[in-house]
């Protein structure tokens, strides 16, 4: 078996230990004579996995006492709709901070539900290269909530601080950097994250919803879209994505085995330092379009002098066993995703390749 070095943006590579555990348990889960895929979501085996996944999320993050933790289907894109459906009340408005393609999509969806306004956008010619300062946020003090995207998967920018939104509930799409380092979740009224970047396979979306916000949710929605219904039923109102939750459980147990989020964060900081170091060492050849203080540790984007060289870079890297390096189709260039599962040794291999490629082609 030859596994490649996987820098995919999502679905992304998973920790080998989590996959091996799934392989070993696939046909016979804990001596039950069947795999977890085949178990009832009302049975004790699946319920054990489900509750362990939630407990691991709470343990890794800490400080979640005031939040409900939900595991739901639909992806972050469904949350773009269900968040305003639940919390954007008629006659009021919600604020959106635009820092990339996903925040634009979240904003557009909110406009379909009710009244939403842009509290700040850092777009220049439809491209985003930075995170705004606190002063740039023109927040509406009567907004139902203010929405940010903590990591901008396409443009390679990341919030390194939590913005102050005063009394307005802060809502964050953390799909591409959830659990990347220790995070104080208490300032966030709502966090959502699709699993397929940092947490596991696609199919499950994690929500942390502070109970004070949840109490204000609209009750006149179809039950399936009401976060309160899912909270009352421990995310077992209907059949959850059982296998995705199971695999996420394996990934979370792996993160704990590394030493929790302190260790995960230190690993990620080292990976980012290695790769940005290799880019910055050759400024005449590699160029990162992102402002220094806004650079993402999860998605590193950069350009080469020509698109032809970029194509060669991706093709040669592939021959060297590294995949997933092509930039998003709307942005171009190179994108390297350094999610939690990516090993530091893999980033060192890529950094060496950058040096070698520039020496030969620069």
Binding site for ligand PLP (CB under 6 A): 10, 75-77, 102, 149, 153, 173, 175-176, 194, 197
Pick the closer one to ligand PLP by CB: 75 or 182: 75
Q: Minimal distance in Å, beta carbon 174 to ligand PLP?
A: 8
Q: Minimal distance in Å, beta carbon 91 to ligand PLP?
A: 28
Per the listing, tokens 């070993």 go with 24
Pick the closer one to ligand PLP by CB: 191 or 351: 191
Asked if 357 and 313 touch (Cβ cutoff 8 Å), the reply is yes
Asked if 63 and 186 touch (Cβ cutoff 8 Å), the reply is yes
Angle formed at CA 286 by CA 285 and CA 290, multiple of 5 degrees: 145
Q: What share of the chain is helix, strand, coil (3-state, %, to 5)?
A: 40, 20, 40
d(CA 347, CA 336): 9
Pick the closer one to ligand PLP by CB: 197 or 267: 197
Phi, psi dihedral angles at 235 (to 5 degrees): 60, 25
> For residue 185, what are its two tokens?
């979740």
Asked if 145 and 94 touch (Cβ cutoff 8 Å), the reply is yes
- What's the Cα-to-Cα distance from 211 to each of 67, 142, 188, 220, 232, rounded to whole Å? 6, 20, 11, 19, 12
Tell me the pairing of strands 93-98 and 151-152: unpaired
Burial 66-99 (b: 16+ CB within 10 A, else e): ebbbbbbebbbebbbbbbbbbbbeeeebbbbbbb
Q: Minimal distance in Å, beta carbon 260 to ligand PLP?
A: 23
d(CA 171, CA 70): 15
Active-site residue (options: 95, 102, 159, 254): 102
Active-site residue (options: 159, 173, 177, 326): 173
d(CA 251, CA 360): 39
Q: In the chain, count of helices (H) and strands (E)?
A: 10, 15
Q: Minimal distance in Å, beta carbon 13 to ligand PLP?
A: 15
Q: Minimal distance in Å, beta carbon 64 to ligand PLP?
A: 21
Clarify whether 159 is annotated catalytic: no
Pick the closer one to ligand PLP by CB: 154 or 358: 154
Per the listing, tokens 């006149």 go with 220
Pick the closer one to ligand PLP by CB: 304 or 336: 336
Clarify whether 138 is annotated catalytic: no
Pick the closer one to ligand PLP by CB: 10 or 15: 10
Pick the closer one to ligand PLP by CB: 209 or 354: 209
d(CA 245, CA 194): 12
Active-site residue (options: 159, 177, 197, 271): 197
CA atoms within 13 A on the CB side of 70: 29
Give me the residue whose beta carbon is nearest to ligand PLP.
Answer: 75
d(CA 298, CA 31): 38
Q: Minimal distance in Å, beta carbon 149 to ligand PLP?
A: 5
Clarify whether 102 is annotated catalytic: yes
Q: Minimal distance in Å, beta carbon 98 to ligand PLP?
A: 12
Residues with active-site annotation: 102, 173, 197
């Amino acid at each position: 078996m030859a596994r490649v070095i996987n820098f995919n943006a999502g679905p992304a590579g998973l920790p080998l230990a989590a996959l091996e555990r799934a392989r070993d348990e696939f046909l016979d889960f804990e001596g039950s004579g069947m795999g977890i895929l085949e178990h009832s979501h009302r049975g004790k085996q699946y319920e054990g996995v489900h509750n362990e996944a939630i407990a691991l999320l709470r343990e890794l993050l800490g400080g979640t006492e005031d939040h409900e933790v939900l595991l739901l289907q639909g992806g972050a894109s469904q949350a773009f709709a269900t968040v305003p459906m639940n919390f954007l009340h008629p006659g009021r408005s919600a604020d959106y901070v635009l820092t990339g393609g996903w925040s634009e999509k979240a904003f557009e969806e909110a406009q379909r539900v009710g009244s939403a306004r842009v509290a700040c956008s850092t777009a220049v010619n439809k491209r985003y290269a930075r995170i705004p300062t606190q002063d740039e946020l023109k927040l509406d003090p009567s907004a139902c909530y203010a929405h940010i995207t903590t990591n901008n998967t396409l443009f390679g920018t990341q919030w390194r601080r939590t913005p102050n939104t005063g009394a307005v509930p802060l809502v964050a799409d953390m799909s591409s950097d959830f659990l990347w380092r220790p995070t104080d979740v208490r300032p966030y009224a709502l966090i959502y994250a699709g699993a397929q970047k940092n947490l596991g396979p696609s199919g499950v979306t994690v929500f942390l919803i502070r109970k004070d916000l949840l109490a204000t949710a609209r009750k006149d929605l179809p039950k399936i879209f009401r976060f309160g219904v899912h909270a009352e039923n421990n995310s077992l109102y209907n059949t959850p994505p059982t296998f995705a939750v199971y695999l996420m459980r394996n990934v979370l147990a792996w993160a704990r085995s590394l030493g929790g989020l302190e260790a995960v964060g230190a690993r990620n900081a080292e990976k980012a330092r290695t790769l940005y170091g290799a880019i910055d060492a050759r400024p005449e050849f590699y160029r990162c379009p992102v402002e220094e203080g806004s650079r993402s540790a999860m998605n590193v984007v950069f350009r080469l002098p020509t698109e032809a060289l970029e194509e060669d870079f991706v093709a040669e890297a592939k021959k060297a066993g590294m995949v997933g390096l092509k930039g998003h189709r709307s942005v171009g260039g190179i994108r390297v995703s350094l999610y939690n599962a990516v090993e530091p040794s893999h980033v060192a291999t890529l950094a060496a390749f950058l040096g070698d490629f520039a020496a030969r082609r620069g």
